[in-house]
Each structure stands twice: as structure tokens, then as C-alpha cells.
Copies of this chain bind each other. A is one copy, B any other.
């Protein structure tokens, strides 16, 4: 069976060009970049090259890039490192209610340590009201942390405007750009961000490597203590192969950004339009304004059916997607992002994300459109919520479920 991977926001395959760049560092060029001898010298250049490649993609200088082990580490470091360094400045953080857990859980941990956190609400499209942001700012606000693009819905945040507000009030600004970098143009100068986080495995580099942009002069307490690596900003022997791969992936992303985003947007629109014309009783999650959404992302709730069971049914056809259902989140609650957008709870359980990538083809999209309507119908026919006006018991027992 042909596999159709539509879960690029979860992770992506390593691109062959990237793997090729990585392999020598597992073989002859195995040295520790801190070593002075031939083995160290063979690899230290690779780090600096990658730093340059990452910096170029986001319009930063190489010295402003620090390599970390994943997006989550970058977010932990940005938030904890800032709050600890700016302890005298204030104990207040502003973030949104739809951030990734790497930000939300870190903020929750900070609350336990006595910090105040404002979780800005979003509207039913998952969009932010900048007036809310400005109102939330106090004299004690040390950090604003707002993601560039939401991983579940693809909804974009107005990072440039937020950057202007942060600058106006002289507040440090961190953005989790894990889903944005490589998919849309990201420019740290234009956006006036101080801290920006990238994760390799979302853009064709391997799992286990990421980067954080730290604007020159930004004071941070270390998160990972130890040796002098990364100019004392992140201890631990560098993942040389992964870093070289991240550099290459950023170079490729930069070169292909235009063609990628046009192509993937066309395919995503084809999928979106196809689903909406063929499947009744569904709801788009995230902003309906396609220009304010990542070009590769579509999130839909199929009423009356639960997300995991839909995923597993699609999986039988080789189609990989993801869901905001509790069953796939590892918790008992459905996605907090759906909750923040006031998506009704069964619809939240049925939310399904299709995220496309550079290898996605029109044939794959058409195949999904072939199998999806019948799959949805099959599960609806199994659902006690569907057509329950006609069941023996009537609808009284479904009172917790509101309809579309």
C-alpha cells in the first residue's frame, strides 16, 4: 500500500541532501569540536557553516545562533533564561492560550515559582486581539512569548505588530517559530524579535537538533550549565551531524521557499476545497482567511466521529494525519487549542489536521479525497451521536453534545 504522509507538522523525513551532509560526521569526521587536534579541527568549521546557514534563513548574524537539542529546549531556554536574567525587571509573562506545551508547560512551571502569567485568549478563528495584548502589559512584564504559527491550525500571529508593541514598551519578545521557519518568510529584524526558536525535524533536518536565535546583547541566564560550548550559552558536546544537517535544511528551505509555498498552498487548497465540497457537517478550525494560515495546514472537525478512530481508518488506506482528540494527545482532554477557540467538545475530539510537505503530490491529495468521504460516513454510521433524532432512545441522553 502506498503511504501518504500528511503529518509534516508532526515531523518530516530527513531530506536526502541533508543526510548526505550529515554522514561524514558519523564516519571520518567524528571529532569533538572543542578539541584542538585534527579530529576537532575537521568539524569545528561545520558548526560555523551551519550557524551561517541558519542565520541567513532568518536574517540574523551567525553569532546570534545557538544550537540546542529540539524546539522544546529552545522554548524552555528562552523563557527560563529570560525570567531569571530579568528577575529585577519583573515577574510577569504574557503568552497566548494556544501555544505549544513547550511554552505553556514552561509558563505553568514559572507560575509555581511565583511568576504571573497572562494567557491571552484567541477568537473562534484562533486569532489574537492586539488590544488584549497591549492591555495585558504591566510595569512588571518581563517577557512576551507568542508563537509565529500555530501547529494545530496553522493560524499565523501578527508577529511584526507584536514586535512593534514589545519595542514600544521595551519588553523582551520571544517567538516559538518552530512551525513557521521554512514554510513562510521569517525575518528577525523586520519582526523585532529578541528570541526565536527553530526545530530541525520540522524542516527536513533530523530529530534531536534545533536552534535559538538570541539577539545580540540579550542577557540570558544559562539553561544548560556545564562546558564552554556555544560561547558559554549552551553546555554539552554539540550534535555535529545534526547541526550540519540543520544548516543544510535551512539553506534548502531558503532557496525553495517561494516554490515550496506556492506548490503546497495549491495542494492544501485542493484538499480543503475537496473536503468541503464532498463531506457535509464539518467545521474548519483556525482562520478561514487562507493568507493568515500556514500554506501547508488544514484542520477540520468531522462532526459525530472521534479523531483517533478517523486517523486509524485513514491509516488503513496509508494516509497519515493527526488529531486534537484526547486519545492522541496523551491526556484526557481534547486539544487546548480547540478549547481556546471555543470549539464544542465533541468537535474538538474530532478535529483532524492535514499538514502537507514538499513531497506531497496532487495524486496523494486526490487519493485522500477518494477515501475520506466514505470513511467518515462509515464512522458516522457507527456513532450514537449521528442521526440520533431517529434512534430508539432519542436525543435526551446526548445532552452533553451540542450540534453544529
Which chain A residues have a beta carbon within 8 Å of chain B's beta carbons? Answer: 3, 5, 7, 10-14, 19, 22, 26-28, 30-32, 34-40, 69-73, 75-76, 100-103, 105-106, 108-109, 199, 201, 206-209, 221-222, 224-228, 235-242, 308, 311-312, 314-315, 318-323, 327-331
Which residues of chain B come closer than 8 Å to A207, judged between CB atoms? 32, 237-242
Known: A69-B69, A76-B226, A208-B69. A38 touches B3 (CB 8 A): yes
Which residues of chain B come closer than 8 Å to A327, judged between CB atoms? 36
In the complex, the chain B residue whose C-beta lies closest to that of A222 is: B109
CA distance A73 to B241 in the complex (A): 18
Which residues of chain B come closer than 8 Å to A72, judged between CB atoms? 224-227, 235-237
Q: State how many angstroms separate the Cβ of A106 from the closest Cβ of chain B.
A: 4
The answer to whether B7 and A226 have CB atoms under 8 Å apart is no
Which residues of chain B come closer than 8 Å to A22, judged between CB atoms? 26
The answer to whether A235 and B38 have CB atoms under 8 Å apart is no
Which residues of chain B come closer than 8 Å to A102, judged between CB atoms? 225-227, 235-236
Q: State how many angstroms separate the Cβ of A307 from the closest Cβ of chain B.
A: 9
Q: State how many angstroms separate the Cβ of A323 from the closest Cβ of chain B.
A: 8
The answer to whether B30 and A308 have CB atoms under 8 Å apart is no
In the complex, the chain B residue whose C-beta lies closest to that of A307 is: B36
The answer to whether A27 and B37 have CB atoms under 8 Å apart is no
CA distance A226 to B210 in the complex (A): 15
The answer to whether B39 and A5 have CB atoms under 8 Å apart is yes
Q: State how many angstroms separate the Cβ of A176 from the closest Cβ of chain B.
A: 10
The answer to whether A308 and B36 have CB atoms under 8 Å apart is yes
In the complex, the chain B residue whose C-beta lies closest to that of A28 is: B13
The answer to whether A206 and B101 have CB atoms under 8 Å apart is no
In the complex, the chain B residue whose C-beta lies closest to that of A202 is: B237
The answer to whether B7 and A30 have CB atoms under 8 Å apart is no
In the complex, the chain B residue whose C-beta lies closest to that of A3 is: B38
The answer to whether B30 and A321 have CB atoms under 8 Å apart is no
Q: State how many angstroms separate the Cβ of A123 from the closest Cβ of chain B.
A: 25
Find A101's partner among B12, B227, B319 (CB 8 Å cutoff).
Answer: B227
Which residues of chain B come closer than 8 Å to A5, judged between CB atoms? 39
CA distance A69 to B155 in the complex (A): 30
The answer to whether A315 and B26 have CB atoms under 8 Å apart is no
Q: State how many angstroms separate the Cβ of A199 from the closest Cβ of chain B.
A: 7
The answer to whether A11 and B237 have CB atoms under 8 Å apart is yes
